[in-house]
Amino acid sequence: MNQGTTEVMLALSLADSMVGTAYLDDEIWHEIEEDYKKVPVLSDSYPDIDTLMGTEPDFIYGSYRSAFQASIDEEDGRIGYLDILGSCNMTISTPEKNSTYCRAELNDANMQTYLQAPYCEYAIHRPDEVTLANLYEEIWDIALIFDVFENAQGLVSNIENHFQQATQIVEAQGSSAEPISVLWLDGWSDETPFIGACCGSVNTIIEYSGAKNIFADKGIEEKKSWMDAPWSEIVEKDPDVIVLVDAYWDLADEKIYNLCKNEKTRALRAVQTRRFITVPFSASTMGVRIGSLAYNLAEAIVALANGEALSSVDFTETIITNDGNAGKQALGSSGARVYTRLPVWNGTDLEEFCPGGMSSNIYIKYS
């Protein structure tokens, strides 16, 4: 039902067990792209109830509780489970709204369900902190359901190997090197952007990449992965590198435009030196390419800091064309990108608009 769960299924080589998938947040991971093409895409959002039931699913797998939330009106973007189930008994009230969820009733109707633990309907059942252990437990759960234990072992080993490779890159820099400071910019706001906080997937990725999260001390009590932070704090901390999360609904290129447009943010060291790394939203969650992203970030951060080449094993040169202007980017195996030329956004050539100029000097070494 969501990209994260789709990528788990495909990474376990379960395309033939899938009768459909729903929307994407960003491009599917290239390592599973061919299998993804075999799976019917039911909708560019959540499918309507007739489309979903038309696939006759035995099992519905969601990343977020919204995948099992009953639609109350046609505009809420949820699924009309009540049309077939009549009623659902789990209603959770917040000051903003009441939400009704239908997993128990779906199970009673012989459609088993699985929801990723961090997004359980009841907060009391969510893990206090999202860790790699939660990801591995989920992978083994799905392996048990579909009897693909060898595939699960290979997937977990692949994730762990990428983390080990990231660690080797960091250790090669020596303990005396000062860690590069990073702002993880998830969602743009003119006042309080959504940033990577102390815990969960974001901080795991940053730590394995050998960098230092400028907000590693934020959200500790609640063990949050993401939080809002005022720009005044970001300006005060002045990060070396900005990691920009890219999604179809919140594009990294637009974030660069906003950073370069605002007088306060365009003075940031990372903006002045154009030390931007773009990562797909789906790679930034606790999913199957988290190890690959940590490895790519470790490589990219070292390259940006030291002017070193990126490996052709894990980065390839790609041409982007936007508004008729072509530019080059270094594309990592996780989907991470490092700009060698800033893109065009909505008619504005950011290469000309932003401060600095060609300062990243990223290149790829071919052996």
Distance CA 281, CA 209 (A): 17
**Predicted pLDDT at 15:** 97
288 or 179, greater pLDDT: 288
Is 267 a residue whose pLDDT tops 70? yes
In which element (H, E) is residue 278 found?
strand 276-280
User: What number is the average pLDDT over the span 159-171?
Assistant: 92
**Predicted pLDDT at 311:** 61
Alpha-helix residue ranges (DSSP H) falling in 126-262: 132-146, 149-172, 200-208, 231-237, 252-261
**Predicted pLDDT at 361:** 53
**Predicted pLDDT at 359:** 45
Q: Which amino acid is at 296?
A: N
**Predicted pLDDT at 54:** 95
pLDDT tens digits for range 70-125: 988 777 789 999 999 999 999 998 887 889 999 999 999 999 999 998 888 988 88
The phi and psi torsions of 93 (rounded to 5 degrees) equal: -105, 135
Least confident of 177-186, 267-276, 306-315, 336-345: 306-315
CB burial of residue 114 (10 Å; 0-12, 13-18, 19+): middle
DSSP string, 88-107: --EEEE-SS-EEEE-HHHHH
**Predicted pLDDT at 320:** 62
Give the chain's mean pLDDT. 88
- Beta strand extents in 212-251 (DSSP E only): 212-213, 226-228, 241-246
44 or 303, greater pLDDT: 44
> Please, what's the largest Cα pairwise distance for the chain?
64
Is 228 a residue whose pLDDT tops 90? yes
With beta carbons less than 8 A apart as the criterion, state whether 5 and 36 touch.
no
Is 211 a residue whose pLDDT tops 80? yes
322 or 33, greater pLDDT: 33
Least confident of 234-238, 280-284, 301-305: 301-305
Quote the pTM value: 0.88
280 or 75, greater pLDDT: 280
Is 329 a residue whose pLDDT tops 50? yes
Compute the Cα dihedral for 80, 85, 87, 93 and give only its sign.
negative
Six-digit token pair at 276?
């931007």
Six-digit token pair at 76?
């809420």
Strands 310-311 and 364-365, by their bridges, are parallel
* Helix/strand/coil for 283: helix
Is 367 a residue whose pLDDT tops 50? no
User: What number is the average pLDDT over the span 230-247?
Assistant: 95
Residue with tokens 């979903």: 52
Sequence-ordered list of residues with C-beta below 8 angstroms from that of 49, at least 6 positions apart, any chain: 71, 79, 80, 81, 83, 84
User: What number is the average pLDDT over the span 155-175?
Assistant: 89
DSSP code, position 313:
T
With beta carbons less than 8 A apart as the criterion, state whether 209 and 301 touch.
yes
The phi and psi torsions of 312 (rounded to 5 degrees) equal: -75, -10
Question: Roughly what angle, to the nearest 10 degrees, separates helices 200-208 and 149-172?
Answer: 50
Is 358 a residue whose pLDDT tops 70? no
Six-digit token pair at 204?
């795991």
pLDDT tens digits for range 243-260: 999 999 899 999 999 999
Residue with tokens 């743009």: 188
Distance CA 290, CA 155 (A): 12
User: What number is the average pLDDT over the span 136-147?
Assistant: 97
Strands 112-115 and 59-62, by their bridges, are parallel
Is 366 a residue whose pLDDT tops 60? no
Q: What is the CA radius of gyration of the chain?
A: 21
Six-digit token pair at 313?
């094993």
User: What number is the average pLDDT over the span 286-314?
Assistant: 82
